[in-house]
Structures are given as structure tokens and as C-alpha cells.
Amino acid sequence: MTSSAEPARPFLPQEVIRAKRQGERLTGRDIAAFVAGITSGAVSEGQIAALAMAIFFRGLDIDERAALTLAMRDSGTVLDWSDLPGPALDKHSTGGVGDTVSLLLGPIVAACGGYVPMISGRGLGHTGGTLDKFNAVPGYRATPDLATFRRVVRDVGTAIIGQTDDLAPADRRFYAIRDVTATVETLDLITPSILSKKLAAGLQSLVLDVKTGSGAFMATLDEARALAESLVAVAVRAGLPTRALVTDMGDVLATAAGNALEVRLVIDVLAGRKAETRLMAVTRALSAEMLVMGGLAADLAEAGDKVDRALASGAAAERFARMVAALGGPADLLDRPDAHLARAPVVRAVMPERAGVVSAIDMRALGLAVIALGGGRRRPTDTIDPAVGLTGIAGRGASVGADRPLCLIHAASEADADAVAADIRAAYALADIAPEAGAIVIERIG
């Protein structure tokens, strides 16, 4: 007896590559089969590279992006937080210089009744990584087992860890090949790469911080807007309610850049010793969006008030301290940060060439200076020095001169400080009058 149904055709990776090379639309079945081959090893590195290049030039439509996102999500474990007594919420940043938002946001939202199971990454290019910042805290387990992760999220309300091997493993292999084949910079592949990991985290809703300006990967507003729109559209299509804020990374977000230095700054903000106006404006806006999306506030005004109370009352600081201790870090980190965080032996001021007002900053150059000091990676295998970086970074509109440096360099040696001082000075443009202040949160999408 024979069936009239058409038999499923065998999966051939080269046929999927050929179809996309010719500009054809890939089916969900073909995408799922190719991703399964990435995970199992049945698809070779050369075939993955060929498909990446075909997508780079031919593109994916919204349905193909969603199919690729879901297939990569399903290539490993998908977490389930339905047993939590509150909503599982998260945010993702596209990367910046001195971006310590996550360290503040997780504890703030937890203090307001949310649960933030945040899976973060290492630094990429000239931008710092949240995972690298927590690796500057002695004893902190940035890659705990799943049972510990679940326990800390439930008990504390937030746990910030690194991506585990079983979350979206196809993306890890795909990204590594894209990185060495010059196929990273396309929305068609950036979108699934970001969202597959967030969908695997089992979230109820997601807020995105898409940065624009000289310190961002998407330097122009049009590029950042396009990425934000792609991320929101694909996430919603994949069943994850998502909003995006486009924020300014053309100016100093926080006055410190470098891993231990940024952790110390966050502790000072939580303790009320530092204001950090721009950093808190972005953190407050993202946190408020999360509270509204999670049903923990009726509107952004109420959510903003809750954020302010969590900080002023010390509730957010308490959550931060509990999270650090629960993941193996020092129980007294907030009270005695200098006893635990590494310090660089050389601290040197970078003086401006003349007195004036900062009119523009090449933030990417400052990020690269931190890497040159040893605070980031030139190669994936490099070891980071947590102590090095910059503090007291002057932002746009700041007056600088003989009594006000551009920043302080924290370096492992005098030679290292010498090597970056001129580049830092060249990153600054000075004027005689202050520039107009621009918006920190530029657009809201979704």
C-alpha cells in the first residue's frame, strides 16, 4: 500500500546555501534542519560560513529571522520560570563604554517585586561586558549550575551570570564562525543571535537598550533604530513582549570604565555616595519599562517612583549584596569594597592641551584605551586585568583645564599609562562654550 502524501525530501545543507545565495526565501523546515546540523556538527564550518555570507548579501525577511531565532533557541535548554511568585523580566544592552546599567537594574527591579534571571556576556570589541565586571569580584561564581541559578533568582530576586553551555548552543558555534568570516554586522544575524539567548532564558518580557553614538556598535541613529525595530518585531513574533529604548552612547554614561572600577562605582551609587546622572537616567528608564511590562506598576510615572524608593531606601543595595554573597562573593563587599576589589599600582591624570569645555568625545577611543591597558581582550584567550581602566571621565559640557583633568588612568605600569595618554587626549574636542545638552533616551520603540 502506498501513500499519496509527498515524502519529505532529504536535508542537504548545500541546497539551503544555494537557495539563499540565489535570493530565495528559506522555509522554517530548512532553517530548523540547518540549525540542528550546526548543533550536532553534521553541518561543517565551511557550510556555516557559506550560509552566513549568503545571508549577509541576500538578507532574511522577518519570518526567516523569527524562524532562525526560534531554531537557535530550541537548540538547547529553554528555562521555565512559571513557578516564580512574580514575573521573570530582563533587559539586554547592545554594548557601550562604562555601561554598568545591569549591575544596578537587576537589584532595583528585584526590590520592586520582579525577578531578573539575567544571562550576560563578556566584553565584545571596544565595549565592556557585564560578566567581566562580576569576574572582578573575588569568589563570584559567574557560571553556576542551573540549580544554584534558580535558587538565587527565587531567594534574592535577581542573579546575573554568564551564558551556560546548554543555552542556545547553536548560536555560540554560529557566532564564532561569523566572527572570523566578517559576517557579524548584519541585522539578519544580529537579531537572532541576541534574541535566541533571551528566549532560551524563559522570560515573560524583555526591554532592550539599543545604543547609538561613537561608543556604540550602531554608531548612527538610523542604524540603531533599524536594529531596535528588528529586535522588537522578531521578539514579538516569537512570543516575547519586548520594548526598546534607543539611548545615547556618544557621551560618558558613567564616569568610570574598567571592571573593578565600575563595580566600585556601582557600590557608591547604591550607597548614595555618587549621583552619576546619565547612568541613572538610563537605568531608571529601563527599570520603569520593565516594571510596567511585568504588571508591577500601572504606568511609567508610578514605576519611576518605585525605582526611586528602591534606591533611597537601600532595598536595591541590599539585593545587590545578597546576590553577590549567594553567588560566592564577599558578604561585606558593599561595606568594604576596597578590601576586595583590585587596585592598579599607577594612577595618573590626563590633562587637556588647553582649558575649555568638552564639546565632543570619541567614546570608542576611550573603550579601546581600556583594552590597551589590559581591561579588555584583543584575542578571545586574553586574560583581563580587573584593576585597570579610567575614572573621573569628563563628559560633554564639563570644564577642563589645569585643575580638572580629562580623566585618571589606572594602569599596571608607567609605560602602560604612557601608551594610552595621547590617545585619550586626542579623543576629546574642546570648545569655549558648552554644547547643547542632548537627550539621553532618544526614542522608545514597541
Claim to verify: residue 108 and residue 256 sit in the same structural domain: yes
202: in domain: yes
Claim to verify: residue 125 and residue 196 sit in the same structural domain: yes
436: in domain: no
pLDDT of residue 63: 95
Claim to verify: residue 306 and residue 420 sit in the same structural domain: no
Claim to verify: residue 313 and residue 192 sit in the same structural domain: yes
Q: What is the CATH number of the domain that holds 54?
A: 1.20.970.10
DSSP strand pairing (399-400 vs 356-361):
antiparallel
Claim to verify: residue 146 and residue 48 sit in the same structural domain: no
| Residues tagged active-site | 90-93, 130, 178, 193, 197-198
Claim to verify: residue 319 and residue 368 sit in the same structural domain: no
Claim to verify: residue 118 and residue 226 sit in the same structural domain: yes
Amino acid code (one letter) for 241: P
pLDDT of residue 4: 45
pLDDT of residue 139: 97
8 Å CB contact between 234 and 193: no
The domain total for the chain is 3
pLDDT of residue 380: 61
8 Å CB contact between 88 and 210: no
Claim to verify: residue 321 and residue 351 sit in the same structural domain: no
pLDDT tens across the length of the chain (446 residues): 444 444 455 789 999 999 999 999 999 999 999 999 999 999 999 999 999 999 999 999 999 999 999 999 999 999 999 999 999 999 999 888 889 999 999 999 999 999 999 988 654 555 557 888 999 999 999 989 989 999 999 999 999 998 777 889 999 899 888 877 888 778 999 999 999 989 999 999 999 999 999 888 788 999 999 999 999 999 999 999 999 999 999 999 999 999 999 999 999 999 999 989 999 999 999 999 999 999 999 999 999 999 999 999 999 999 999 999 999 999 999 999 999 999 999 999 999 999 999 999 999 999 999 999 998 776 666 788 999 999 999 999 999 999 999 999 999 999 999 999 999 999 999 999 989 888 999 999 98
pLDDT of residue 26: 96
Q: What is the CATH number of the domain that holds 164?
A: 3.40.1030.10
8 Å CB contact between 358 and 398: yes
pLDDT of residue 381: 66
Claim to verify: residue 24 and residue 125 sit in the same structural domain: no
Claim to verify: residue 156 and residue 51 sit in the same structural domain: no
73: in domain: no
pLDDT of residue 208: 97
Answer with the one of 337, 368, 396 that is the final residue of a domain: 337
Ramachandran assignment for 405, one of left (phi > 0), alpha (psi -120 to 50 degrees), beta (any other): beta
Domain span at residue 36 reads: 13-59
48: in domain: yes
65: in domain: no
Q: What is the CATH number of the domain that holds 386?
A: 3.90.1170.30
380: in domain: yes
